[in-house]
Structure 1
């Protein structure tokens, strides 16, 4: 495990000279469509610190977009993956299977909500997991229509772009998209016209009415929703919305899919965000935090639904790679040993009061929201009109980056600053990062 001092250190401009040299090489060799939040190149990382090639140490409030939940280079992840590397890197589970894949599926059956019989299939990315959840649901129901919600994000493949709400940068110019995808309203408490408390039941009624009138529930294979919407702006749907959709799906034989790719694996203070309202999904998609930084994703669900696809219908050459599976077992071991759901709640107890205090001080903050270590600020030009403030959001992020704090922006309107610190970050780094954030607000 790489020893990286858990201290912020800014010794050059951001980016420094070595990062600038690498950026010039990148510009010549890497496609322009691949973006980066910060123009600094990582050299090593651990805990809550990323060290760049110039020796700057940055406080990490991004965790590789909720991937390094257990920290970068977590001891158990490195130990399990290293042992597997020494044995073999690949055989393809569809050719000669191996125990690691089975062990990950067993862990997913144990950890995901519900006490019914469950099975899993493993893939490489979140988009693959969502796409295969649709395949499984269609195979099981013999129906075609898929319902998703406004502000949702599900990936960058052709089908998952169709499922995703936001045009720029995810969909613009990349169509035509897959058919039989229908979008319904979501309960966005901060922006709900009749107030946040009404958002859940009212949005659910609107969504169910649209499905009933425009599609016909008998034609719907799956309803897919993120229990906390990630790219849409860390929106936790108003209370009652998810249970109403879950009940509607059950009543009409629709497969209810919880997309927990960003919100899963302890991130919100529970193993999975759908547990907040006791939602037991038929299928749950996971990725990001599952394997401590190695590429792995899964669809887990009711055994009879998972078994609906014919033999050979699910898979992929690299799906459930043995090294990634070993890393996942190490990550889950770490989550259990350190009780990372409790740690996420502790992070919330430190961050949320300070974010609320910032909202008291700065009118540009329209909303403070999120759960656990999945928190966000929505910035607005005017609190009365709630007009989004994307320029202020970008300026704030840049000020944080310059001071050595990695933060990410998000939201349909590009006006949300999101916080996804590794769950193993120290309280001192958390507080220092919040100090930097406060200073950045004073500057903008």
Structure 2
């Protein structure tokens, strides 16, 4: 059964044990560095470059700190040299994270350093006639010290990643807000640089329920921007800004989102994605689509968008075009409106109108006779019939 390593802060070695070790410290440091260079390839370039001298000094300082720590007098010492060593190891871990490296190489270097340093220090102790019990105890202290340094570096690495991740997430959110606010391209470019985000050619806005935003985000390009609260026009919706989903890639995006309850806007140049977002909000607000499920492609609803661009103008046009019929809430008048819409849609083909309305062709003929009496020659006027088509293309008001 393995035993827990001792706390290096609580153990002391006599000056007689430490003195020969301190005298050979430069040799031990050189051997340690050579072993790390040979066994940890990631550090070969660092040792051979400008950082080599600094790293060599750090190794010597770490060994010197250890010898200083274990050679102090007994009793509490507020000036423990371990704290600076731990701070240096913590900073080393943060530096590895800032440089985009994992801890694999650093922890491997610690392991190699501990093994080689112990081998050299043990050889010195043996040659000095130290008893086996003292040498074994010394080994425990070496590995306990390396464990402390490793733990400090792990903490530094984790803290730097967490700090960097939080800062970048804030910058990405600010960029998304700036895009949806329609900021000018200069400000957007600066925001993108602060977020370390490379602008794509286009962005496509996608509205998704807040509860499903994370799962949906996982399906998309990793550069996709997210804003948890889309805005007042899209309650309980998040907005995702998807890079380069234009052309044939739009079909791929729609396929990825299949089964999701989303509204997908058009692709727009990245700095103009507000136009894509505005369209998704418009489509979401169309009454008969707002309660729908599944993928809603705004490109399939351009006619509704045009017709509802000015609701009051549409209402006025409808009232003007249907004025000859009178009160359209009356049942007989409503049937005339229904027949007129179908007659315009089918370009006057009586059989097609009858089939659509499930009525006899003679009934169609009778109703159209009534409508011609009400409208007169206007039903043969292209300009008038165009306005009628537009007025009747929108759904009947509730």
TM range (shorter): under 0.3
**Is the radius of gyration larger for structure 1 or structure 2?**
2
User: Higher strand proportion, which one?
Assistant: 1
Structure number with greater CO (CA < 8 Å, separation at least 6) is 1
TM-score, normalized by length of structure 2?
Answer: 0.17
